[in-house]
A = this chain, B = another copy of it.
């Protein structure tokens, strides 16, 4: 029951020169299900990422960070990424780290590279041992199928409670040179990324030096995956990786260049699309909500207010019910933690309907107008704070019976 989810077909996803993808059915949690993905990179590729801030950072996340660091000094580039679904390998202590290492060892051996040239990722249930033998046994099949036109099945291979695979593709021309970008993401619950979403991967075929790519991935995460929330739960495994294969025509050489700006804009466009797909397929979602906070003193207070609204179970159930019980939005603004907020300056709009003015009900507001907007499947909530020029946007969804059902049944 995803909300206005676009039709994504394999044919719409463009191969990115310099990266091939292959999957397997490794039986990690359930049989007959794509659950293992390998992405193999050209030796010219650079890779940068942002990761969860959860202190219970999963074993593969710890190892991926270490391997990215090592690649910067060893001269041996990242050669492949491996992703399993069905088990997060988080809250698994030393044994979990050993299992993530064993996965890298096995894949490195199969590809003829060092284990430190492999980045591991896992998603699924927390606190359960990773069935590492199944992962390792599945790797040869995944490698055997490596091809550049496998993005759609790659998106399928990283799904957990997702109802639909999430992927997007774009071609841009920068300084006369063609750049192809394709990405995939997954996540439907435990989504309130603090650095990135549950899992997101974007590859482009430009050549981008490591330092610039690291700046670019942070800018893109802040403008996309860091602007969504489904249930306020920051996962142990959030990772967003940006890959520049260097196999295409464009080379970005410095930060203050038109090329950097244009490529970053294209990456942000794709990252926002992938992030919004996650919200559209949010667990039990029936509404796609854009929260836009304006006239703040700084970005931080705007984001605080947006997240207070976006996390309020009362606001989210009102959206589910199409009930313009909009006082709940004011209450969330009031407890967002902006201590010196002057509520007499606050305005509230629901799409084009002016609901509250000077912190109280607008004299012309009619419940029928609020009701009309609340029935839509896409709604923009705008809050004006009347105290500055800063703003923030957060995308979220409603809280429905299906959210409870999905999460009450997740492991069964």
Q: Pick the contact of A91 from B128, B190, B360 — CB < 8 Å? A: B360
Q: Does A325 contact B (CB under 8 A)?
A: yes
Q: Does A10 contact B (CB under 8 A)?
A: no
A contacts with B: majority SS: loop
For chain A residues 359-376, which have a beta carbon within 8 Å of chain B? 359-361
A325 to B235, alpha carbons, bound, how many Å?
A: 14
For chain A residues 310-357, which have a beta carbon within 8 Å of chain B? 311-314, 317-318, 320-321, 323, 325-328, 330-335, 338-339, 341, 343-344, 355-356
Q: Does A109 contact B (CB under 8 A)?
A: no
A189 to B327, alpha carbons, bound, how many Å?
A: 14
In the complex, what residue of chain B is closest to A406 when comparing beta carbons? Answer: B317
In the complex, what residue of chain B is closest to A237 when comparing beta carbons? Answer: B331
A326 to B361, alpha carbons, bound, how many Å?
A: 44
Within 8 Å CB of A126, what residues of B?
Answer: 325, 327-328, 330-331
Within 8 Å CB of A326, what residues of B?
Answer: 127
Contact B403 A331 (CB under 8 A): no
Contact A407 B128 (CB under 8 A): no
Given A93-B359, A343-B56, A361-B93, A189–B314 Cβ distance below 8 Å? yes
Give the number of copies in the complex.
2
Within 8 Å CB of A327, what residues of B?
Answer: 88, 90-91, 125-128, 236
Contact with B along A70-97 (1 / 0, CB 8 A): 0000000000000000001011111110
A278 to B197, alpha carbons, bound, how many Å?
A: 36
Given A325-B125, A360-B95, A331–B404 Cβ distance below 8 Å? no
Q: Does A194 contact B (CB under 8 A)?
A: yes
Contact B128 A312 (CB under 8 A): no
Number of interface residues of A (CB under 8 A): 70
Within 8 Å CB of A404, what residues of B?
Answer: 317, 320, 399-401, 403-404
Contact B410 A323 (CB under 8 A): yes
Contact A330 B91 (CB under 8 A): yes
Contact with B along A371-389 (1 / 0, CB 8 A): 0000000000000000000
Q: Pick the contact of A333 from B55, B94, B129 — CB < 8 Å? A: B55
Q: Does A131 contact B (CB under 8 A)?
A: no
A157 to B361, alpha carbons, bound, how many Å?
A: 27
In the complex, what residue of chain B is closest to A92 when comparing beta carbons? Answer: B360
CB of A52, distance to nearest CB on chain B (Å):
8
Q: Would you give 9 A-B contacts (Cβ < 8 Å), ordered by A?
A: A55-B333, A90-B327, A90-B331, A125-B325, A127-B355, A128-B327, A236-B334, A401-B401, A403-B404
